[in-house]
Structure 1
Amino acid sequence: MMLTWKEEYSIGIEIIDEQHKHLFEIGNQAYELLKNELRVDKYDDVVQILEDLRQYTKFHFQTEETYMLKINSDQLPIQKIEHAEFIKKIFNIDFRSLDANTNKHLNEILFFILNWILDHVLHKDKLIAQR
């Protein structure tokens, strides 16, 4: 497994922490697929992982934004911007180039998810709980 949940990733809001753990699971699915040398054609699997990531992040961001609205968090405007950028990035993936070089795109997806976790979750989402 590439992504392992550690207690330091917790922001202290149970519903959000549980959803972050699921994002780790999606990242690990991508990692396991990347490392699976027995699968020659990974395109359909990558498309499914991307679709899961797209749908789950929309759901997750809605949960975070609703929570921030409820507690009147001053973090909501910047979070909405970053969430929109994330959604834009994963919805703008070119599936033709994905088919041409699946492993390259899997690496890019993993790098993107890992950086998102290290930057957004560990730094910006932690601010949500610090009212």
Structure 2
Amino acid sequence: MSNKAKLDSSAPHIYDATGYDDLVDWGEQPDCMEGRSHSSGRLLFKRPDPSVGGNSPETGLWVVTPGKWPLAIPRDEFCHFIAGRATYVKDDGEVIEVTPGTCVHFPAGWAGICTVHETLRNVYMLR
């Protein structure tokens, strides 16, 4: 494990999340409408809780390359974007432009289109 991360800590953490590169391949983004977006990341924490049907809280680092795909958020998700550029367009037409430093809370049920213009990197939390 890289010395930039302490994932076995009592409080898992990553130093310099903007440059951290010890990532796990999470595969191609399904349902791409344009491009071939590829995801990678690093899970920081996921509470094992079979009573919630696999919807345990989790947090991590997510990196995805350019592309465009439909998005349906199944549960609350908070994202702090630390690199890249993307546009999220809600089904009702609302546009959310994302650049480094943007924080977004996507409530469960949010649906629209995600277009990643420049490789995106974010720290996320699902609940």
TM range (shorter): under 0.3
Instruction: Tell which structure's C-alpha radius of gyration is larger.
Output: 1
Higher relative contact order (CA 8 A, sep 6+): 1
TM-score normalised by length of structure 1: 0.27
